[in-house]
Amino acid sequence: MTAVLLALTGLADESELVRVATGADLTVIRRCVDAVDLLGAAASDQTCPVVIASTLPRLTPDVIARLGHRVVVGLAADALGTERLSRLGVDPVIVVSPAPATTMQQVADVCQAGVTPIAGDSPEDYCSTAEVDTASGSAAAASWPAADARPQGGPVRDQELRARMGTGSVVTVWGPMGAPGRTTVAIGLAEALSDRGLRVCLVDADTYAPSVAMALGLVEETSGMSVACRQAEAGTLSPTSLASLTMSPRGAAHSRWRVLGGIAQASRWPDVRSAALDRLWQAARASFDMVVVDAGFCLEEDDSPGAWARQRNAAALSATAQADRLVVVADGSSLGAARLLAGWSAVDRQSNGIPVTLVRNRARGSGRAWHQAVASCGIPDVVDIPDDPRSVQGCWDRGHSLGEGARRSRVRRAMVALAARVSTPLSIAA
């Protein structure tokens, strides 16, 4: 007999399905009335298979993700229910047959086979690129160049993953604690990439000190990141809806890049969950050529696995794990080098061998001692961003980007060089 958790509330044949479960060698250890009840039951048993109906109340992709790597079987009465479960990340999905015993035997066969799908993966690409291309009324799409005018290709770490998630590339900007200049570099990089003819989205994923919107003088009534994650959990986030949540920096010259603001307060970090973030990156890849993510400094996995687990650093961990390229920002001082060395092991584990560009920010002189100090990180690609406090501070004071307030400055020219380095693979024909 195989012990299972049943969550079939709302399914017309629920009582009959439960009754015939024994005949299919299934032992029902608990019948759950909604998603919260299911998570509570799943927390007490980390391996027990779960059978979920498409009609279960309060069911979201985050709930499926929290069930972990166990057998999760979906039951649906029709094609609409099958589609809903697939969008939520449930695989396989069994359509209820007129004979309840036949349905439960199919469930038993899956459970006994021990097929463990990856929680959160959807078997279909619900974020279709075509959805963006046809959405000419979108506020963000109105100013984007035609698809045939955009550079194609890009760094591909997993061809199958890229084919499912779209053509865009994710560039994550990370740096150790101590304000090395992550946000300044992320903003400058996003703007410089847009000047190269790319559709760019700058995402503020720093859950400790979100400041991209404030730096650019942008005011949003609600957090774009929180709303996007909420839509992702409900299975309604698409490239078009994501684009509608982004803001455009002031000035007509910046129509090619958009900003997705961060959480309103650091205490709202529970709004940003791993399962929702996976779908956010998927929609962003399908909607933009380049996604620049300003990630928080902490990459500590500070929560134990389980149905009720919540990661304080989910945004930074997800952004670095899903990135196609990593830009590591370190202050050009000796203290900045020491902080980089202290935090490098964590980011090296997350990077999984993807290309890494190291930025020596606020650089003065040749920095020979600095370069020698960080040589143990083994990053050959290093870009210096010169120390130009007058230009940077002037832009921050007025809520301007470097392109608006200091276009001819040394730091702006360095950002352009960094963008060329980061986007080089995009210009190579696939």
Which CATH number does the domain housing residue 384 bear?
3.40.50.300
Structure tokens at 50: 């779960």
Q: Please check whether residues 41 and 150 belong to one and the same domain.
A: no
Q: Please check whether residues 170 and 248 belong to one and the same domain.
A: yes
Task: Report the candidate in 309, 286, 4 with the shortest Cα–Cα distance to residue 134.
Answer: 286
Q: Please check whether residues 395 and 277 belong to one and the same domain.
A: yes
Q: Are 33 and 5 in contact (CB under 8 A)?
A: no
Structure tokens at 230: 């909420």
Q: In DSSP terms, which residues pair with 26 in a beta bridge?
A: 2
Q: Please check whether residues 70 and 190 belong to one and the same domain.
A: no
Which residue's structure tokens are 């619900």? 126
Structure tokens at 385: 């961003």
Which residue's structure tokens are 């017309």? 12
Q: Please check whether residues 248 and 334 belong to one and the same domain.
A: yes
Q: Please check whether residues 258 and 327 belong to one and the same domain.
A: yes
* Whether residue 52 has pLDDT greater than 80: yes
Task: Report the candidate in 173, 177, 11, 164 with the shortest Cα–Cα distance to residue 94.
Answer: 11
d(CA 250, CA 236): 29
Q: Please check whether residues 325 and 382 belong to one and the same domain.
A: yes
Inside any domain, residue 212: yes
Q: Which domain holds residue 71?
A: 2-113
d(CA 337, CA 373): 7
d(CA 62, CA 262): 20
Inside any domain, residue 74: yes
Query: pLDDT per residue over 72-87, tens digit each?
Result: 999 999 999 998 898 8
* Whether residue 151 has pLDDT greater than 70: no
Inside any domain, residue 26: yes
Percent of the chain clearing pLDDT 70 (strictly above): 83
User: Which of 121-125, 310-314, 397-401 is predicted with the least confidence, judged by mean pLDDT?
Assistant: 121-125
Q: Please check whether residues 185 and 280 belong to one and the same domain.
A: yes
Q: Please check whether residues 195 and 158 belong to one and the same domain.
A: yes
Query: pLDDT per residue over 154-193, tens digit each?
Result: 333 334 344 434 578 999 999 999 999 999 999 999 999 9
The pTM (predicted TM-score) of the whole model is 0.68
Give the pLDDT score at 309.
Answer: 61
Distances (CA, A) of 403 to 19, 364, 399, 407: 68, 22, 12, 4
Inside any domain, residue 120: no
Inside any domain, residue 124: no
Element (H, E) at 278: helix 274-287
Of the candidates 113, 142, 172, which is a domain's last residue? Answer: 113
What residue ranges in 96-179 does DSSP mark as E strands? 169-174
Of the candidates 113, 144, 164, which is a domain's last residue? Answer: 113
d(CA 335, CA 313): 24
Q: Please check whether residues 106 and 159 belong to one and the same domain.
A: no
Burial 58-77 (b: 16+ CB within 10 A, else e): ebbbbbbbbbbebbbbbbbb
Q: Please check whether residues 217 and 164 belong to one and the same domain.
A: yes
Of the candidates 57, 87, 113, which is a domain's last residue? Answer: 113
Please indicate whether residue 214 or residue 256 has the higher confidence score (pLDDT): 214
d(CA 298, CA 305): 18
Q: Calculate mean pLDDT across residues 340-369.
A: 90
Estimate to the nearest angstrom the gap between the alpha carbon of 61 and the chain centroid: 14
Structurally, the chain folds into a number of domains equal to 2
Inside any domain, residue 126: no
Which residue's structure tokens are 């097929």? 115
Three-state secondary-structure class, residue 384 = strand
Q: Please check whether residues 205 and 96 belong to one and the same domain.
A: no
What CATH number does the domain containing 27 carry?
3.40.50.2300
Inside any domain, residue 118: no
Inside any domain, residue 164: yes
Task: Report the candidate in 388, 420, 426, 427 with the shortest Cα–Cα distance to residue 407.
Answer: 388
User: Which of 23-27, 198-202, 269-273, 305-309 is predicted with the least confidence, judged by mean pLDDT?
Assistant: 305-309
